[in-house]
């Protein structure tokens, strides 16, 4: 078994990318994926090094007299890789530079847009919205996933597995159920047949969002009640943006707009912050305590 | 003097009469027959030129019934006034169709004994046509409001808003429109979304006075954040799958569907020479095969290109004037005093995306929604015929070349069978003789 839940995420996102490239004639370009991966990881490395330096400069540790080169630098490659895969799956652009910009902004957002100990934008989401706003060259192709039920099942199964390991399945459930409820009510009011609703929901990008983006445990509220409320609010905003402002990429805008509220929600409901792994000492402390 | 001969790639072609159903090209609303003629929509062509929220919609159809019976109801996002509606020139739609139609390209193999070459493309052609419809009246008791009412060209047009679908249905019946059964249920969602109804029928006096052979395309200009095309109403009186070709013209790049998957139509396939004689059958069979293969629920991209150029060109590119008539309102006039017509510069900010949608009620529950993107990738449906070299060959390369032909023909046959679902053995009987059988040199001398 893989030790880090992110390894599962990486595996699944890669699988989706391969399926997309092999089975669907997407406009997926290998050089785009490469650009995203290299830029994301590169930005992470650069900013981590810079941050280390800065921290040391700010708070020189008297005990740590070892030369810098010997100081252990933990290279976090998993998170930027996940962001890169997410961007590759969701974002389309005509120029490589746009993808590079999205990738670097995505990662940079983790370093610069944060409360003392927590970044509150999902990096891939931030990257997507940033280039939609800043450039004239980016778009999201919500239709390109098609609606095959089979696809939905793979997504659900895969996502469920990942989420179970991560322990944030509640946001997915809260988001999807609120969103389905809202769309169902609208469908009822308008008088469309139910296959219209099914078609609206059978969207690969919606599921991808619900399973992999809105669940990112590092950037969403820590306490469960806060998460449920937060996910419900995103569903509502998505619903409004999609149906009344005709935004095809409504989910991404909704998450982006509501992300900062994480800070407020964390203040209202305090809970321990999520860590990808728990050290043995912490674990035993938790068990003992 | 065979060294003088090198290659020429001719190019020909055929256009494609997309030949789907010659009977009735229809539209995204539904036809309403005033007599009991049974009409159904089989196919239609729509041009949507859009920049920002500004939209010009051109609806063309090849209505085959009695002109007096023609009527059409289309949901529109805003109330339209007389000057927002226009009757277009069917030639523009035909030209755009010809320009973007899937094409057959012919190449001639060079003499294998004389390496290298160049080429000169020739134009091709294609086919289609279009038009539209209308009528006027009002009653408020039914909750129906006539927002505006006018005559444009050979059409009488009414823009209606309604509170209830029953009232709208009643109003239409009272005013002599024969509504297909079940229309009311389909009208309701549009009413509740606050959409208006564009109702058109033919003004016979105007039609006769104009001496038109057929109904011309209707165009409407409006501003709305909604970039969509209603297709649900059109399914109401259509039994079979319907074909819709949408030309989306946007400034920055391809436009795409946001609620259905888009698949590139199979392209760049090398197929046997005999297909030249039956290209129309080939395309229909190939399209049908691809449609089935993809699950009947996708749209096909047939062409995506900047309107400034084409390669090879199936028809002359549209002039700025033609584009204006097609609804492209944002072309900037780059020419200053001296320079004549703005050509490529001015046109570089118009990109056409041709989507071919074959839809049925069960596979396409929702109306089509689009978005403009900056995707500059070019695409065209293009099928290649390669004529083998038939001149005299006196070199070992020539012998190798001839030995390679049977395998190539077989490959082409298999490609064709795979694309169209045609029987491979039938195809094989139509292949050129694979025996090396060069034409005697004297036949070329005294032909």
Amino acid B348: pLDDT? 72
A25 and A127 both lie in a single domain = yes
CA nearest to B383, candidates B220, B273, B218: B273
More confident residue, B159 or B124: B159
Amino acid A154: pLDDT? 65
Q: Which of B75, B255, B256, B370 to mutate to test the interface with A (most CBs of A within 10 A)?
A: B256
Residue corresponding to tokens 């630098």? A73
Alpha-carbon gap, residue B436 to A170, rounded angstroms: 72
Beta strands in B6-61 (DSSP E): 30-31, 43-51, 54-60
B185 contacts in A (CB within 8 Å)?
191
Amino acid B42: pLDDT? 58
A211 and A240 both lie in a single domain = yes
Give percent above pLDDT 90 in chain B.
34
The CA distance from A99 to the nearest CA of chain B, in Å, is: 13
Q: Which of A73-77, B91-95, B378-382 has the lowest mean pLDDT?
A: A73-77
CA nearest to B202, candidates B59, B1, B68: B68
- Split at pLDDT 50, 70, 90, the class of B113 is confident
The CA distance from A16 to the nearest CA of chain B, in Å, is: 16
Q: Do B261 and A193 touch (CB under 8 A)?
A: no
Tell me: pLDDT of A283 over 60.
Answer: no
Amino acid B347: pLDDT? 62
CA B59 to each of CA A31, A118, B46, B247, B438: distance values in angstroms, whole numbers, following the listed order: 40, 54, 5, 10, 53
Mean pLDDT of B285-313: 89
The CA distance from A225 to the nearest CA of chain B, in Å, is: 33
Q: Do B259 and A142 touch (CB under 8 A)?
A: yes
Amino acid B207: pLDDT? 86
Tell me: pLDDT of B130 over 50.
Answer: no
3-class state of residue B104 by DSSP: strand
Alpha-carbon gap, residue B260 to B300, rounded angstroms: 10
Mean pLDDT of chain B: 78
Torsion of CA B346, B348, B354, B355, to 10 degrees: -120
Q: Per the structure block, which two tokens stand in for A13?
A: 């996102």
**The domain boundary residue, chosen from A87, A119, A140:** A140
Amino acid B78: pLDDT? 92
Tell me: pLDDT of B249 over 70.
Answer: yes
- Split at pLDDT 50, 70, 90, the class of A147 is low
Strand-pairing partners, residue B305, are B352
Alpha-carbon gap, residue B209 to B17, rounded angstroms: 30
Domain count, chain A: 2
- Residue A283: inside a domain: no
DSSP code per residue over B222-243 = EE-S--EE--TGGGTT--S-EE
CA nearest to B58, candidates B17, B20, B93, B22: B93
A158-165 contacts, C-beta under 8 A, 24 or more apart: A158/A12, A158/A15, A158/A16, A158/A211, A159/A12, A159/A207, A159/A210, A159/A211, A159/A212, A160/A211, A161/A8, A161/A12, A162/A5, A162/A8, A162/A9, A162/A12, A162/A211, A162/A212, A163/A211, A163/A215, A165/A5, A165/A8
A31-34 contacts, C-beta under 8 A, 24 or more apart: A31/A96, A32/A88, A32/A93, A32/A96, A32/A99, A33/A84, A33/A85, A33/A88
Mean pLDDT of A100-126: 89
A196 contacts in B (CB within 8 Å)?
365-366
Give yes or no for a contact between B12 and B117, defined as CB atoms under 8 angstroms apart: no
Domain residues for the domain of A56 are 5-140
Amino acid A70: pLDDT? 45
Using CA coordinates, name the residue in chain B closest to A146. B261
Residue B247's Cβ-side half-sphere holds a number of Cα atoms within 13 Å equal to: 31
- Residue A285: inside a domain: no
- Split at pLDDT 50, 70, 90, the class of B206 is confident
Amino acid B239: pLDDT? 67
A131 contacts in B (CB within 8 Å)?
none
A130 and A155 both lie in a single domain = no
3-class state of residue A110 by DSSP: helix
pLDDT in tens, A221-260: 888 889 999 999 999 999 999 999 999 899 999 999 999 9
Q: Which of B6-20, B156-170, B358-372, B426-440 has the lowest mean pLDDT?
A: B6-20
Q: Which of B124-128, B311-315, B334-338 has the lowest mean pLDDT?
A: B124-128
Render the burial of B14-37: b for 16+ CB within 10 Å, e for the rest: bbbbbbbbeebbbbbbbbbbbeee
Q: Which of B77, B261, B293 to mutate to test the interface with A (most CBs of A within 10 A)?
A: B261
Tell me: pLDDT of B25 over 50.
Answer: no
More confident residue, B366 or B124: B366
Of B253, B369, B375, the CB nearest to A248: B369
A97 and A166 both lie in a single domain = no
Sorted by sequence, the CB contacts under 8 Å of residue A27 that are 6+ apart come out as A92, A141, A144, B375, B377
Tell me: pLDDT of A178 over 80.
Answer: yes
Tell me: pLDDT of B9 over 50.
Answer: no
Alpha-carbon gap, residue B190 to A54, rounded angstroms: 59
Tell me: pLDDT of B110 over 60.
Answer: yes
Q: Per the structure block, which two tokens stand in for A27?
A: 């406009």
The CA distance from A220 to the nearest CA of chain B, in Å, is: 28
- Beta-strand pair B103-108/B382-387: parallel
Q: Do B376 and A145 touch (CB under 8 A)?
A: no
Alpha-carbon gap, residue B255 to B355, rounded angstroms: 9
Amino acid A216: pLDDT? 82
Tell me: pLDDT of B371 over 70.
Answer: yes
A54 and A91 both lie in a single domain = yes
- Residue A287: inside a domain: no
Alpha-carbon gap, residue B366 to B259, rounded angstroms: 8
A189 contacts in B (CB within 8 Å)?
192
Alpha-carbon gap, residue B6 to B252, rounded angstroms: 40
Q: Per the structure block, which two tokens stand in for A9?
A: 């995420």
Amino acid B116: pLDDT? 52
Amino acid A267: pLDDT? 85
Using CA coordinates, name the residue in chain B closest to A241. B225
Alpha-carbon gap, residue B351 to B353, rounded angstroms: 7
More confident residue, B328 or B139: B328
Which ipTM was obtained for this model? 0.83
Alpha-carbon gap, residue B114 to A202, rounded angstroms: 58
Of A94, A190, A245, the CB nearest to B376: A94
Alpha-carbon gap, residue A265 to B274, rounded angstroms: 70
CA nearest to B161, candidates B187, B132, B186: B187
- Residue A224: inside a domain: yes
Amino acid B243: pLDDT? 86
- Residue A10: inside a domain: yes
Alpha-carbon gap, residue A281 to B251, rounded angstroms: 60
DSSP code per residue over B312-355 = S-SSPPPPHHHHHHTT---------TTS-S--HHHHTT-EEEEE
Amino acid B398: pLDDT? 85
Q: Do B258 and A143 touch (CB under 8 A)?
A: yes
B259 contacts in A (CB within 8 Å)?
142-143, 199-200, 203
- Beta-strand pair B54-60/B242-250: unpaired
**The domain boundary residue, chosen from A106, A140, A174:** A140
Tell me: pLDDT of B29 over 80.
Answer: no
Amino acid B322: pLDDT? 92
A251 and A154 both lie in a single domain = yes
pLDDT in tens, B68-91: 778 888 999 999 999 999 999 989
More confident residue, B188 or B15: B188
Tell me: pLDDT of A200 over 70.
Answer: yes
pLDDT in tens, A21-80: 777 656 678 899 999 999 999 999 999 888 888 877 876 655 554 444 444 556 788 889
Alpha-carbon gap, residue A82 to A127, rounded angstroms: 13
3-class state of residue B164 by DSSP: coil
- Residue A36: inside a domain: yes
Amino acid B389: pLDDT? 85
Amino acid B313: pLDDT? 80
């Amino acid at each position: 078994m893989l030790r880090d839940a992110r390894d599962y995420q990486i595996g699944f996102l890669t699988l989706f990318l391969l399926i997309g490239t092999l089975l669907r004639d997407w406009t997926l370009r290998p050089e785009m994926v490469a650009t995203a991966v290299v830029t994301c990881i590169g930005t992470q490395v650069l900013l981590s090094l810079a941050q280390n330096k800065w921290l040391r400069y700010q708070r020189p540790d008297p005990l740590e007299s070892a030369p810098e080169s010997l100081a252990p630098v933990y290279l976090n490659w998993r998170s930027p890789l996940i962001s890169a895969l997410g961007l590759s799956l969701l974002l389309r652009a005509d120029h490589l530079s746009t993808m590079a910009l999205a990738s670097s902004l995505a990662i940079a957002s983790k370093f610069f847009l944060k409360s003392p100990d927590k970044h509150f934008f999902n990096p891939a989401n931030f990257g997507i919205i940033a280039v939609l706003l800043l450039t004239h060259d980016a778009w999201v192709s919500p239709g390109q996933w098609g609606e095959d039920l089979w696809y939905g099942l793979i997504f659900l199964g895969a996502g469920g597995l990942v989420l179970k390991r991560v322990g944030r399945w509640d946001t997915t459930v809260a988001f999807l159920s609120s969103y389905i409820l809202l769309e169902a009510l609208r469908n009822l009011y308008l008088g469309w047949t139910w296959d219209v609703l099914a078609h609206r929901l059978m969207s690969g990008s919606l599921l991808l969002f619900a399973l992999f983006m809105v669940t990112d445990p590092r950037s969403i509220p820590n306490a469960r009640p806060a998460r449920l409320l937060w996910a419900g609010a995103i569903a509502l905003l998505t619903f409004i943006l999609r149906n009344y402002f005709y935004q095809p990429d409504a989910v991404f805008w909704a998450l982006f707009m509501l992300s900062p509220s994480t800070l407020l929600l964390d203040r209202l409901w305090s809970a321990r912050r999520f860590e990808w792994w728990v050290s043995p000492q912490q674990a035993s402390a938790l068990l003992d305590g | 003097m065979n060294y003088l001969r090198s290659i020429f790639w001719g190019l020909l072609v055929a256009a494609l009469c997309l030949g789907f159903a010659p009977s009735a090209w229809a539209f995204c609303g539904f036809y309403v027959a005033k007599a009991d003629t049974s009409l159904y929509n089989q196919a239609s062509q729509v041009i949507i030129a859009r920049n920002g929220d500004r939209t010009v919609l051109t609806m063309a159809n090849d209505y085959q019934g009695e002109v007096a019976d023609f009527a059409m109801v289309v949901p529109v996002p805003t109330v339209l006034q007389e000057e927002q509606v226009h009757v277009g020139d069917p030639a523009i739609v035909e030209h755009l169709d010809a320009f973007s139609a899937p094409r057959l390209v012919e190449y001639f193999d060079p003499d294998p004994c004389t390496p290298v070459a160049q080429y000169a493309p020739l134009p091709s052609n294609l086919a289609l046509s279009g038009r539209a419809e209308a009528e006027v009246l009002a009653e408020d008791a039914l909750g129906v409001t006539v927002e505006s009412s006018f005559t444009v060209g050979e059409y009488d047009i009414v823009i209606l808003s309604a509170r209830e679908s029953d009232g709208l249905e009643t109003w239409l019946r009272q005013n002599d429109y024969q509504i297909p059964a079940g229309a009311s249920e389909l009208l309701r969602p549009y009413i509740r979304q606050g959409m208006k109804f564009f109702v058109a029928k033919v003004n016979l006096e105007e039609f006769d006075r104009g001496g038109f052979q057929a109904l011309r395309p209707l165009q409407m200009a409006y501003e709305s954040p909604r970039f969509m095309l209603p297709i649900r109403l059109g399914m109401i009186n259509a039994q079979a799958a319907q074909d819709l070709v949408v030309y989306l013209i946007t400034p920055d790049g391809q436009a795409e569907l946001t609620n259905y998957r888009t698949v590139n139509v199979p392209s760049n396939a090398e197929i046997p020479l005999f297909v030249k004689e039956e290209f129309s059958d080939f395309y229909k069979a190939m399209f049908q095969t691809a449609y089935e293969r993809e699950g009947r629920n996708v749209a096909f991209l047939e062409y995506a290109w900047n309107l400034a150029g084409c390669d090879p060109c199936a028809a002359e590119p549209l002039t700025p004037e033609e584009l204006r008539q097609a609804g492209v309102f944002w072309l900037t006039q780059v020419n200053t005093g001296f320079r004549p017509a703005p050509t490529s510069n001015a046109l570089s900010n118009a990109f056409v995306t041709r989507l071919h949608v074959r839809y049925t009620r069960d596979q396409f529950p929702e109306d089509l929604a689009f978005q403009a993107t900056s995707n500059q990738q070019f695409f065209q449906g293009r099928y290649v015929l390669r004529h083998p070299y038939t001149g005299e060959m006196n070199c070992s390369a020539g012998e190798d070349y001839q030995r390679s032909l049977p395998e190539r023909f077989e490959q082409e046959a298999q490609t064709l069978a795979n694309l169209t679902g045609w029987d491979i053995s039938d195809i094989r009987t139509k292949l050129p003789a694979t025996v090396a059988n060069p034409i005697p040199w004297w036949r070329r001398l005294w032909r």
